[in-house]
Amino acid sequence: MNFGTEFQPLTTQPQEIETKSFSIITEELGPHPFTDEQFPVVQRVIHASADFELGRSLVFHPEAVQAGVRAIRQGRSIVADVQMVQVGISKPRIAKFGGDVHVYISDPDVAREAKALNTTRAIISVRKACEAHPGAIFAIGNAPTALLELIRLVKEGVARPSLIVGVPVGFVSAAESKEELLKLDVPFITNRGRKGGSPVAVAIVNALSLLANQALGG
């Protein structure tokens, strides 16, 4: 069938496409402040978003990458704020170490409690997750209220996550929640500003799980 175009892709091989994409990202990003261990995460975020400004806005706690890789290799659970994040995370790479991925925002008990307390399901789901999964990796890409609640629980000593991936997108409290995250003394990966989203949270966690597997030669 002729679609009336002469354009042909450079390659149709998935690995070649990814390799070429990363080469373009490295070239176009140019000089940057990221360390060698942080840069693969930045590459994955830009690859997922095609947004160099977003990539440059990433901020890493000094121990973030090591903490994330260690937590995955220890089989720690990953808690997502929404189903989109849960679906996007590569389960086989997590399961290889005995870990799993959870999301509670649609649980009936969460909905009931949120309604009773006149608050968001995101807040209640974080409370439930902190109780069920101490030391988990939290991946928040959608709900600033979830991130703010997690920060509150950390400050109060109720929660101590292995890593917080806090990249909610939006116009209400998104940028502000990330600025609050920067003040914590627990490992985090975040970005400044309104940008972010579920694909960004997924890209970060998947980058860490790839690094965890590479550390084992897998």
The pLDDT, as a whole number, for residue 218 is 47
150 with 184: CB under 8 angstroms?
A: no
- Domains identified in the chain and CATH numbers: 59-214 (3.40.50.10230)
**CB contact burial 70-103 (16+ within 10 A = b; e otherwise):** bbbbeebbbbbbbebbbebbeeebbebbebebbb
151 with 177: CB under 8 angstroms?
A: yes
The pLDDT, as a whole number, for residue 216 is 59
The pLDDT, as a whole number, for residue 22 is 83
pTM, to two decimals: 0.90
Catalytic residue selected from 47, 61, 102, 133: 47
The pLDDT, as a whole number, for residue 217 is 53
Give catalytic status of residue 102 as yes or no. Answer: no
pLDDT along the chain (218 residues), means of 10: 55 73 88 94 95 96 97 97 96 95 97 97 97 97 96 96 97 96 97 97 98 72
Q: Kindly report the backbone phi and psi dihedral angles of residue 188, in degrees, each rounded to the nearest multiple of 5, phi listed first.
A: -145, 155
